[in-house]
């Protein structure tokens, strides 16, 4: 990277934009200044979207955006704009939809060419620095587009208008009255997912293999509904396989974003907050279903990693860690045979080699680097059945390796704090505190929600902003921020039954409905109406690595409606389900998390009311008992604050009492934790 260049991105807060602040490219951030320059100078826009822990974004920067010749050509012929997709997923959604619809593929870096009116006319993902496989080099592509702009500008503008109209059609959604929502939709979806299950290695689908926790989480829910033990075993097998794989950091905890193979062995090493939040919830579910301590250990392993490496001193959770260290993917995480044989005693090395499958050849090659490191081993559990006598040796091995690894140059940390991903992780910490009985996780959850309220929540305006970093928040509002945080705050309320958390949930829900709900057709827009820099308002309706804002909002509102008895929360959720009905039936894999909401909506939820002195020991034991059974379609509530009217009539017989109710019918109240568990099975 050349220090002689400094462009406008040096003024930004996004770690991704700051990574490009010294490129020879005359970068703009996404703002009016850039659009005005494009109009005034009559130039097309190169919009380049990525994120700070994106490996191939780094590769393209190194190959192309640090090239003086490319930088000069871009400055002369284009207005170049960089966007962090994690700060502006609403922008990314629009232009990714365009590229996917015109090329059949997508990913990051995303490079799209726009008219000065921000309408796309050509795009793709990674472009190489040299012509290869019949594809032009990046510079050749730039030259071709610049020539077309000079010679056929009117045709490009007309094509962009036509493509924009097609994009509007692609992103529009209207509810269909002929799509009933029944348990059969869930049954059909379950069968589709079971067919995609990898019986050998676990997971749903093939390589590259993403955890996509929405899918196994739904399969568990549906298995519960339909009494399908085979489906349950698929999910438990998947959790075991992921935990044993290289996708799981066997030393430091947490999971990488995906595995490049079907075996979960070789990860793409970046670690994302949203994956780890969802995988915590999945492993908590697996623990409750199986009563196998390994799943509880995996959940703890993730949360302890987050507390150690991904938490701001004031309580916010950071976004991600990079795949690369010192310019090489996986260098921080991998080990050679020789390195380990020198580091460990002979006895320790034998145990390590057998347990982790260490070989001289290694199992990982960084094909993206011109000089890949030789003999690299990703650690995975190859031989889990350790002799009892070897377990202390293995613990020593792990401690030694972790200590040595801590001296290596760590991958880049993306330390921005996003309302959306913090909401997911908040929910994971809150629920883990009661499922696992760990007070430190509740402390982390309390600290996190206070951080978000202080840094990202406008108390007077009831506005949730999206990003905070280095003392400053942005001015962006997004559905997923409101929806994911709402989900997290509901989990925190259910884990504590403190009315202050329920009040905050109601404020978030009210603000989310006011800003994003489409009362005409149902569903939620990704951005508020006042967002003027978008060429389209879209409704995100795809549950991929992250669940969509629409899906999370729907389930959260249904739960909140059940807790509070408020129809103004239930109705937008039901309208969103109706909007999604046809897609749920035809493409259930595209809306796996929305299936969770449908499963919740189809039945009257069980209400577990824990009443009494919140400071008493038995109250705490009863609250933990209420969370100790896998019963996804239940809510846990108290009898004070904004709860529904019937719960307010319930009175504790002793210092603490539990009422398990459906509708207005309740089982006999109990003050025995074992009886609570019995009533919930």
For 361, the token pair is: 């050849």
Assess if residue 126 is contained within a domain. Answer: yes
Kindly indicate the confidence band of residue 303, based on its pLDDT and cuts at 50, 70 and 90. Answer: very high
pTM: 0.94
DSSP H stretches of helix in 78-120: 89-103
Comparing C-alpha atoms, which of 636, 655, 631, 656 is closest to residue 647?
636
Buried b (16+ CB within 10 A) or exposed e, 249-265: bbbbbbbbbbbbbbbbb
Say if residue 243 is in the same domain as residue 384.
no
Preceding omega of 109 cis (within 30 degrees of 0) = yes
Assess if residue 673 is contained within a domain. Answer: yes
**DSSP H/E element including 464:** strand 463-464
Buried b (16+ CB within 10 A) or exposed e, 640-667: ebbbbebbeebebeeebbbbbbeeeebe
Integer-rounded Cα radius of gyration of the chain: 26
Say if residue 190 is in the same domain as residue 296.
yes
Assess if residue 1 is contained within a domain. Answer: no
Pairing of strands 120-124, 110-114: antiparallel
Kindly indicate the confidence band of residue 257, based on its pLDDT and cuts at 50, 70 and 90. Answer: very high
User: Regarding predicted confidence, which is higher, 368 or 403?
Assistant: 403
What average pLDDT does the segment 490-495 reach?
98
Count CA atoms within 13 Å of residue 447 on its CB side. 15
Determine contact, residues 402/252, Cβ cutoff 8 Å. yes
Assess if residue 30 is contained within a domain. Answer: yes
Residue entry with tokens 């990913």: 107
Comparing C-alpha atoms, which of 475, 500, 478, 474 is closest to residue 489?
500
Give the distance from CA 475 to its chain's centroid. Answer: 21
Torsion of CA 376, 382, 387, 390, to 10 degrees: 20
Count CA atoms within 13 Å of residue 573 on its CB side. 29
pLDDT value of residue 173: 66
Domain end position, chosen among 410, 444, 462? 410
CATH of the domain at 670: 3.40.30
Domain end position, chosen among 554, 581, 601? 601
Residue entry with tokens 């009210």: 510
User: Regarding predicted confidence, which is higher, 311 or 391?
Assistant: 311
Q: How far is CA 213 from CA 32, 218, 274, 283, 640, in A?
A: 38, 8, 10, 10, 34
Residue entry with tokens 């006598």: 389
Determine contact, residues 548/593, Cβ cutoff 8 Å. yes
Instruction: Give CA–CA dist 507/460, Å, rounded.
Output: 11
Q: Dihedral sign, CA of 376, 379, 381, 383?
A: positive
Q: Which letter does DSSP use for residue 64 in this model?
A: I
For 482, the token pair is: 């409101």
Mean pLDDT of the chain: 94
Longest C-alpha distance within the chain, in Å? 84
pLDDT value of residue 167: 79
Comparing C-alpha atoms, which of 471, 419, 470, 423 is closest to residue 445?
423
pLDDT value of residue 161: 87
What average pLDDT does the segment 158-168 reach?
85
Per the structure, the count of domains in the chain is 4
Residue entry with tokens 């399908």: 228
Assess if residue 2 is contained within a domain. Answer: no
pLDDT value of residue 263: 95
Say if residue 71 is in the same domain as residue 207.
no
Contacts of 58 (CB under 8 A, 6+ apart): 19, 322, 324, 327
Q: How far is CA 309 from CA 250, 266, 485, in A?
A: 15, 22, 21
What average pLDDT does the segment 158-165 reach?
86
Is residue 424 predicted with pLDDT exceeding 90?
Answer: yes
pLDDT value of residue 2: 47
Is residue 543 predicted with pLDDT exceeding 90?
Answer: yes
Comparing C-alpha atoms, which of 300, 310, 287, 286 is closest to residue 213?
286
Instruction: Give CA–CA dist 401/399, Å, rounded.
Output: 6
Instruction: Give CA–CA dist 247/378, Å, rounded.
Output: 9
Domain end position, chosen among 380, 410, 440? 410
| Span 612-666, pLDDT tens digits | 988 899 999 999 999 999 999 999 999 999 999 999 999 988 789 999 998 878 9
Say if residue 84 is in the same domain as residue 228.
no
Instruction: Give CA–CA dist 145/151, Å, rounded.
Output: 10
pLDDT value of residue 665: 87
Name the burial class of residue 239, with classes exposed (0-12), middle (13-18) and buried (19+) by CB atoms within 10 angstroms of its CB.
Answer: buried
Instruction: Give CA–CA dist 389/347, Å, rounded.
Output: 12
| Span 168-185, pLDDT tens digits | 876 776 666 667 899 999
Instruction: Give CA–CA dist 35/39, Å, rounded.
Output: 6
CATH of the domain at 546: 1.50.10.10
Pairing of strands 467-469, 472-473: antiparallel
Q: How far is CA 412 from CA 51, 153, 255, 407, 658, in A?
A: 12, 42, 16, 15, 48
Say if residue 247 is in the same domain as residue 287.
yes
Determine contact, residues 536/97, Cβ cutoff 8 Å. no
Q: What percent of the chain has pLDDT over 70?
A: 98
Say if residue 516 is in the same domain as residue 399.
no
Say if residue 388 is in the same domain as residue 418.
no
For 313, the token pair is: 């001193």
Instruction: Give CA–CA dist 412/414, Å, rounded.
Output: 6
Pairing of strands 320-321, 271-272: antiparallel
Residue entry with tokens 């704009």: 81
| Span 560-611, pLDDT tens digits | 999 999 999 999 999 999 999 999 999 999 999 999 999 999 999 999 999 9
Least confident of 94-103, 182-191, 401-410: 94-103
Q: Which letter does DSSP use for residue 11 in this model?
A: G
Q: Dihedral sign, CA of 243, 249, 252, 256?
A: negative
Say if residue 459 is in the same domain as residue 585.
yes
Instruction: Give CA–CA dist 543/547, Å, rounded.
Output: 4
DSSP string for 371-438: SPPSSBB----S-----GGGHHHHHHHHHHHHHHHTTSPPPPEE--EEHHHHHHHHHHHHHHHHHS--
Say if residue 420 is in the same domain as residue 515.
yes
3-state secondary structure 181-238: CCHHHHHHHHHHHHHCECCCCCCECCCCECCCCHHHHHHHHHHHHHCCHHHHHHHHHH
Assess if residue 177 is contained within a domain. Answer: no
Instruction: Give CA–CA dist 95/104, Å, rounded.
Output: 13
Least confident of 98-112, 169-183, 251-265, 509-523: 169-183
| Span 19-58, pLDDT tens digits | 999 999 999 999 999 999 999 999 999 999 999 998 889 9
> What separation, in Å, do the N-terminal and C-terminal C-alpha atoms of the chain show?
60
pLDDT value of residue 178: 65
Comparing C-alpha atoms, which of 63, 181, 158 is closest to residue 595?
181
Say if residue 330 is in the same domain as residue 383.
yes
Assess if residue 106 is contained within a domain. Answer: yes
Domain that holds residue 147: 8-171
Instruction: Give CA–CA dist 26/33, Å, rounded.
Output: 13
Least confident of 130-134, 515-519, 566-570: 130-134
| Span 446-490, pLDDT tens digits | 999 999 999 999 999 999 999 999 999 999 999 999 999 999 999
Kindly indicate the confidence band of residue 1, based on its pLDDT and cuts at 50, 70 and 90. Answer: very low
User: Regarding predicted confidence, which is higher, 173 or 323?
Assistant: 323
Assess if residue 568 is contained within a domain. Answer: yes
Question: 3-state class of 458 per DSSP?
Answer: strand
What average pLDDT does the segment 80-103 reach?
93
Say if residue 68 is in the same domain as residue 107.
yes
| Span 544-560, pLDDT tens digits | 999 999 999 999 999 99
Torsion of CA 95, 100, 101, 102, to 10 degrees: 90
Say if residue 431 is in the same domain as residue 468.
yes
CATH of the domain at 16: 3.40.30.10
pLDDT value of residue 189: 97
Q: How far is CA 372 from CA 208, 265, 367, 383, 673, in A?
A: 21, 18, 7, 28, 57
**DSSP H/E element including 398:** helix 391-405
What average pLDDT does the segment 150-168 reach?
87
């Amino acid at each position: 990277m050349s220090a002689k260049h400094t462009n406008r991105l040096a003024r930004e807060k996004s770690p991704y934009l700051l990574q490009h602040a010294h490129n020879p490219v005359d970068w703009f951030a996404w703002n009016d200044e850039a659009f005005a320059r494009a109009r005034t100078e009559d130039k097309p826009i190169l919009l380049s979207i990525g994120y700070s822990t994106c490996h191939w974004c780094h590769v393209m920067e190194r190959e192309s955006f640090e090239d003086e010749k490319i930088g000069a050509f871009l400055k002369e012929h284009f207005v170049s704009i960089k966007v962090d997709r994690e700060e502006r997923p609403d922008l990314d959604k629009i232009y990714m939809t365009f590229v996917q619809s015109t090329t059949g593929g997508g990913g990051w870096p995303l490079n799209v060419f726009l008219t000065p009116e921000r309408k796309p006319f050509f795009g793709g993902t990674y472009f190489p620095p040299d012509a290869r496989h019949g594809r032009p080099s990046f510079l050749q592509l730039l030259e071709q587009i610049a020539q077309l702009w000079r010679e056929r500008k009117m045709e490009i503008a007309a094509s962009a208008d036509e493509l924009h109209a097609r994009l509007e059609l692609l992103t529009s959604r209207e509810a269909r009255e002929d799509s009933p929502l029944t348990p059969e939709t869930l049954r059909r979806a379950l069968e589709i997912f079971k067919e995609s299950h990898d019986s050998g290695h676990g997971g749903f689908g093939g390589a590259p293999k993403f955890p996509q926790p929405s899918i196994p989480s739904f399969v568990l829910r549906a298995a519960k509904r339909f009494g399908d033990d085979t489906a349950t075993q698929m999910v438990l097998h998947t959790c075991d396989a992921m935990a044993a794989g290289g996708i799981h950091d066997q030393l430091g905890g947490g999971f990488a974003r995906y595995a490049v193979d079907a075996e979960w062995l070789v990860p793409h090493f970046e670690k994302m907050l949203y994956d780890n939040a969802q995988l915590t919830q999945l492993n908590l579910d697996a623990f409750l279903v199986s009563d196998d301590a390994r799943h509880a250990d995996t959940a703890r392993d993730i949360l302890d990693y987050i507390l150690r490496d991904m938490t701001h001193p004031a309580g916010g959770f950071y976004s991600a860690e990079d795949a690369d260290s010192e310019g090489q993917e996986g260098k921080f995480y991998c080990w050679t045979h020789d390195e380990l044989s020198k580091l460990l005693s002979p006895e320790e090395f034998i145990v390590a080699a057998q347990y982790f499958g260490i070989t001289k050849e290694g199992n990982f090659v960084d094909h993206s680097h011109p000089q890949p490191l030789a003999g690299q081993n990703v650690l995975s559990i190859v031989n889990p059945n350790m002799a009892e006598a070897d377990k202390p040796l293995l613990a020593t091995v792990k401690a030694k390796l972790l200590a040595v690894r801590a001296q290596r140059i760590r991958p880049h940390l993306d330390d921005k704090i996003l309302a959306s991903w913090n909401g997911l992780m908040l929910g994971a910490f809150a629920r883990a505190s009661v499922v696992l009985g760990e007070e430190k996780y509740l402390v982390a959850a309390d600290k996190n929600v206070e951080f978000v309220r202080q840094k990202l929540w406008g108390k007077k305006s009831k506005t949730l902003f999206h990003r905070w970093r280095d003392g400053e928040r942005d001015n962006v509002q997004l559905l997923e921020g409101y929806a994911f945080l709402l989900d997290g705050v509901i989990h925190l309320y259910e884990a504590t039954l403190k009315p202050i958390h329920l009040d905050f949930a109601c404020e978030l829900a009210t603000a989310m409905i006011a800003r994003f709900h489409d009362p005409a057709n149902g569903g939620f827009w990704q951005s508020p109406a006042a967002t003027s820099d978008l060429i389209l308002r879209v409704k995100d309706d795809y549950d991929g690595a992250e669940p969509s804002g629409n899906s999370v909002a729907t389930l959260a509102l249904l739960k909140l409606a059940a807790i509070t008895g408020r129809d103004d929360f239930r109705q937008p959720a039901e309208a969103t389900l109706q909007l999604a009905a046809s897609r749920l039936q035809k493409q259930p894999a595209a809306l796996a998390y929305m299936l969770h909401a449908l499963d919740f909506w189809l039945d009257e939820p069980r209400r577990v009311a824990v009443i009494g002195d919140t400071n008493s020991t038995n109250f705490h034991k009863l609250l933990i008992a209420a969370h100790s059974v896998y019963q996804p379609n239940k809510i846990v509530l108290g009898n004070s604050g904004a709860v529904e009217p019937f719960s307010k009539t319930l009175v504790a017989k002793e210092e603490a009492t539990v009422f398990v109710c459906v509708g207005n019918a309740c089982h006999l109240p109990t003050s025995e934790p074992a009886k609570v568990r019995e009533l919930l099975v």
